[in-house]
Amino acid sequence: MIVAIDGPAASGKGTLARRIAAHYGLPHLDTGLLYRAVAVKLIHRTMLDDAEAGAEEARRLDPAGLNDPELRSEAAGAGASVVSAYPQVRQALVEFQRRFAATPPGAVLDGRDIGTVICPDAEVKLYVTASAEERARRRALELRARGETVDEAEILADIRARDARDMGRTSAPLKPAEDAVHLDTTELDADAAFAAAIAIVERRTKAA
Tens of pLDDT, residues 91-100:
899 988 999 9
12 is in an annotated binding site: yes
11 is in an annotated binding site: yes
In this predicted structure, the answer to whether residue 207 has a pLDDT above a threshold of 80 is no
10 is in an annotated binding site: yes
Residue 43 has a CB neighbour count (10 Å cut-off) of: 18
Say how far apart CA 139 and CA 37 lie, in whole Å. 19
State the pLDDT at residue 208.
Answer: 63
106 is in an annotated binding site: no
Residue 87: is the preceding peptide bond cis (ω within 30°)?
no
Residue 93 has a CB neighbour count (10 Å cut-off) of: 23
Mean pLDDT of 168-178: 88
7 is in an annotated binding site: yes
Helices (DSSP H) in the chain: which residue ranges?
Answer: 13-24, 31-44, 51-59, 74-83, 87-102, 132-145, 152-168, 190-207
In this predicted structure, the answer to whether residue 72 has a pLDDT above a threshold of 90 is no
77 is in an annotated binding site: no
In this predicted structure, the answer to whether residue 188 has a pLDDT above a threshold of 70 is yes
CB 40 within 8 A of CB 68: yes
Say how far apart CA 99 and CA 177 lie, in whole Å. 20
Domain boundaries, the chain: 2-202
15 is in an annotated binding site: yes
For the stretch 112-130, pLDDT in tens is 999 999 999 999 999 999 9
103 is in an annotated binding site: no
Say how far apart CA 79 and CA 187 lie, in whole Å. 29
Long-range contacts, 94-99 (Cβ 8 Å, 24+)? 94/118, 96/34, 96/61, 96/63, 97/29, 97/31, 97/34
9 is in an annotated binding site: yes
Q: Does domain 2-202 have CATH number 3.40.50.300?
A: yes
Percent of the chain having pLDDT more than 90?
A: 77
CB 197 within 8 A of CB 4: no
